[in-house]
A and B are shown apart, each in its own frame.
Chain A
Amino acid sequence: MNLTLNVWRQKGPQDAGRMETHYLKDISPDTSFLEMLDLLNEQLMGEGKEAIAFDHDCREGICGMCSLVINGVAHGPQRATTTCQLHMRSFKDGDTIDIEPFRARAFPVVKDLAVDRSSFDRVLQAGGYVSVNTGGAPDANAVPIGKEEADKAMDAAACIGCGACVAACPNASAMLFVSAKVGHLAHLPQGQPERTRRVGAMVSAMDGEGFGNCRNYYECEAVCPKDISRDFIGEMNKDFRRAALGGR
């Protein structure tokens, strides 16, 4: 297939950036989206131009490093799929594809399509853990956890922290990410002692990073590569309300 690619180029955080158009020929539909960008980079370097910087690592949809907003949709057109797992068979010969970085004040562009998502780490540092030191744990089967609750915790824990939710939200809100992290521990007995403190601390940290406010658009849920449900946002709101009202 032959493609026209409009790609965001930005030299560094201070540069204004612009879209740049490139043409790519004879791409196999079995090529993954990132392999298509690899080919574009090989072509650019062959012409003596600098490669386009983009984040990627595992290329099997689990590390959460790949990003990109493809034709206006974070991680592209296929539901529940990361960019690295998206294949060119999702596009048609002759298509024009717009490729942009995740855009948010809390995700400043590092270069071209690569962004700095360390704001997520700082939110997690505020409370996304169970305070247990190595060595002090009781037997793993000492506290039974019903399968349904364990499964719910796992549904939330499946979050790969890619930031697509923020990229897709018209307000650049991080509520789906934060609620998935809060929800994971809220569904487990191990998470209970710090539950109230955790939700308050993580929401404050989230606000401090400059993410926008959730207005219940649910665009986040639509682009989440791990299908994290909006219900976790509702659950976090509930935890937050209880914490604010001084209840449990």
Chain B
Amino acid sequence: MQLDAKIPSGPIEQRWDDHRFEMKLVNPANKRKHSVIVVGSGLAGGSAAATLAELGYRVHCFCFQDTPRRAHSIAAQGGINAAKNYQNDGDSVYRLFYDTVKGGDFRSRESNVYRLAQVSSAIIDQCVAQGVPFAREYGGQLANRSFGGAQVSRTFYARGQTGQQLLLGCYAGLNRQIALGNVKMYPRTEMLDVVVVDGAARGIVVRDLVTGRIWSAAADAVVLATGGYSNVFYLSTNAKGCNVTATWRAHRRGAGFANPCYTQIHPTCIPQSGEHQSKLTLMSESLRNDGRVWVPKEPGDKRAPGQIPEAERDYYLERKYPSFGNLAPRDIASRSAKEACDAGRGVGPGGRGVFLDFRDAIQRLGKDVIEMRYGNLFEMYQRITDEDPYQVPMRIYPAPHYTMGGLWVDYNLMSTLPGLHVIGEANFSDHGSNRLGASALMQGLADGYFVLPYTIGHYFATHKPKPLDTDHEEFKRVEREVEERIARLIAVDGTRTPDSFHRELGKLMWNDVGMARSEKSLKHALSRIPELREEFWKDVRVLGGRSEMNTALEHAGRVADLLEFAETMATDALVRDESCGGHFREEHQTPDGEAKRDDENYCHATVWEYTGDPGKPNEHREPLEFEYVHLQTRSYK
């Protein structure tokens, strides 16, 4: 496996412009001759599919949901960043770039991040033109709010439903292209493998989730926009359907997997209420704009929050990070919450929670203002917990939320498997080891609207893929493999449900490869995962037929892939013998508990090559260079 990041040279401000000029174009008449498969219809996939179709390519778009507009991007609450500097508070492309590199704890690729900051403004323009109803000031101008890890207000939002509104805008553009016949949409269709012909990705094998039919689609390039793998923890803020299958299957076919140990644990989620729980619910980070995080100073203080006097409260984020306070970046806020709870100062059932208190904000601004800003989030909290956050502080606890790791891509967003492009959360590119709030939506749309549509043309112009259809022997072979695997899953006919294995894996990963990791915990995980995988293939029970809608079969296939992926993820966490961003190795911390990076030995992206054994992948490294934002200890004090 060769890692050539294809990063342009020259001053960073010029790189993307120069590169766009240097890339070869496909002339408009020839675009009709090229077809693209886009897997996933969230912000990245939906925007890419629509934009590629506008350019004239023939696009086939797939999603497992019943409609593209249900992709999990829809659940993003808080907002989307852009370096518009509408607030005149000193923002700039360079500052957004700087904040993102620093926020990522110096484990991202500078050139990619700079490009992301550059196109961020155009994203907002595009979304407004589509009719995204961003929040406005009375004068009719766009409103902004601040978000973790930044000292400027650059976050655009639509109540607490920014992801939904952006996705609806993007889906509207996609619908227009579907109506025009430029995009063929395949909902309720799950990708189960990639087909590689002559060393390039030329198609996918899918299962129709309604009829169970296995079939394949061929194209000149394949784009994966299939999101992250937080559901390896079972309990996460991701939708139930989110899974690693598409990226894992591509990995098995030759795409390198970069930094799988980089997972983001979001600090403001509703704590788990019991064993029945099927998922965790995020409360937007924007709440930290007005909410104050605290725990009782004394361990084991069981008084009701209202009974605890001011002097006996520890507003620990404000105390430890006076300049960022409650807006400290996510990894730091999460770890601080864990630290407080580990010290016995946690609140709520099992002591796994901290308060997020709006008392002062309500006093200062009035209930109306708070309701206008966060009303729907407060309602959601009350529905789930049966507690009124206007009266008592919210209880929050960190939960897995986003994965910075993903398939490795070069500057053109192409993986190590030629023709296979990866965009959005599914790739590893822009967030390093920690993503800043409101940057996921930005990256998904940047990739789909403004990067991939250029770079994929260059791929076509330089590689000139030969015409091909699904009668090709390789398609038939992969289809057979997929069929056989499904038959094997059903044939096990054991005693345990797929969900019980998923829960067990999740618990193991949360305990051993979660918010804090150690050599000991990782070695434990690495010994246990293969055993669990073996048990799965001996004892899983999948009822129902293969030629019909079968949710248990779908789940079993996804769990089987998670069970393989988890081992590579734990391996990566063990090999990265430093702490950085969301990857916290207990062996490597400063005396006051901050992550301690080892730039000497680990200033690189680790890219894993599949070898047939997920526990023994081949390691490759892409060195990371920091020419502009110089390596420094990240401080938010």
Contacts and interface: CB of A to CB of B under 8 A. Distances in A.
Chain A–chain B contact at Cβ < 8 A:
yes
A137 B278 contact: no
B139 A132 contact: no
B130 A130 contact: yes
A134 B128 CA distance: 11
Contacts of B133: 150, 153-154, 157, 184, 187-188
B540 to A, nearest CB: 11
Nearest to A29: B386
A62 to B, nearest CB: 5
B313 to A, nearest CB: 27
Contact of A157 (B138, B168, B176, B279): B168
Interface residues of B, number: 81
B279 A59 contact: yes
Interface in A188-208: 188, 190-191
Contacts of B530: none
Interface in B533-554: 541, 543-544, 548-549, 551-552
A179 to B, nearest CB: 15
B172 A134 contact: no
Nearest to B282: A60
Interface in A157-192: 157-158, 160-161, 184-185, 187-188, 190-191
Given A121-B67, A141-B141, A147-B136, A31 B274 contact: yes
Contacts of A130: 129-131, 172
Contacts of A23: none
A39 B274 CA distance: 13
**Chain A's interface: helix, strand, loop or mixed, by majority?**
loop
A97 interface: no
Among A45, A89, A117: residue with most chain B CB under 10 A: A45
Interface string B252-271: 00000000000000000000
Contacts of A147: 136-138, 140
Contacts of A187: 133
Interface string B545-580: 000110110000000000000000000000000000
A28 to B, nearest CB: 6
Given A125-B179, A185-B131, A45 B548 contact: no
A211 B237 CA distance: 35
A161 B74 CA distance: 12
B122 interface: yes
B207 to A, nearest CB: 15
Task: Give the contact-size bracket for chain A.
Answer: 35 or more
Contact of B141 (A51, A116, A135, A144): A144
A49 B129 contact: no
B273 interface: yes
A9 interface: no
B131 A118 contact: no
A134 B277 CA distance: 41
B50 A134 contact: yes
B176 A118 contact: no
Given A60-B281, A63-B72, A150-B134, A89 B386 contact: yes
A46 B552 CA distance: 13
Given A146-B140, A184-B133, A39 B276 contact: yes
Given A60-B281, A139-B125, A120 B67 contact: yes
Nearest to B163: A62
A247 interface: no
Interface string B97-140: 00000000000000000000000001011111111011111111
Contact of A60 (B75, B453, B549): B75
A12 B384 CA distance: 33
A42 B175 contact: no
A131 to B, nearest CB: 6
Contact of B129 (A38, A46, A121, A138): A138
A51 B551 contact: yes
A62 B65 CA distance: 14
A125 B50 CA distance: 13
A63 B64 CA distance: 13
Nearest to A120: B67
B383 A118 contact: no
Most buried by A among B124, B161, B176, B380: B176
Interface in A202-246: none
Given A125-B179, A128-B175, A190-B131, A63 B74 contact: yes
B241 A57 contact: yes
Interface of B: 47, 50-51, 54, 65-70, 72, 74-75, 84, 86, 122, 124-131, 133-142, 158-159, 161, 163-165, 168, 171-173, 175-176, 178-179, 185, 187, 210, 237, 239-241, 273-274, 276-279, 281-282, 379-380, 383-384, 386, 449-450, 453, 497, 499-500, 541, 543-544, 548-549, 551-552
For the complex of A and B, the 10 pairs showing the least CB-CB separation, nearest first, are A144-B140, A137-B129, A129-B172, A137-B125, A153-B133, A140-B128, A150-B136, A154-B133, A125-B179, A58-B239
26 contacts: A28-B276, A34-B278, A38-B499, A42-B499, A45-B543, A57-B70, A61-B383, A63-B70, A64-B70, A118-B187, A120-B67, A121-B68, A121-B69, A124-B171, A131-B176, A134-B173, A135-B122, A135-B449, A137-B122, A141-B142, A150-B133, A150-B140, A154-B159, A154-B165, A157-B165, A188-B131
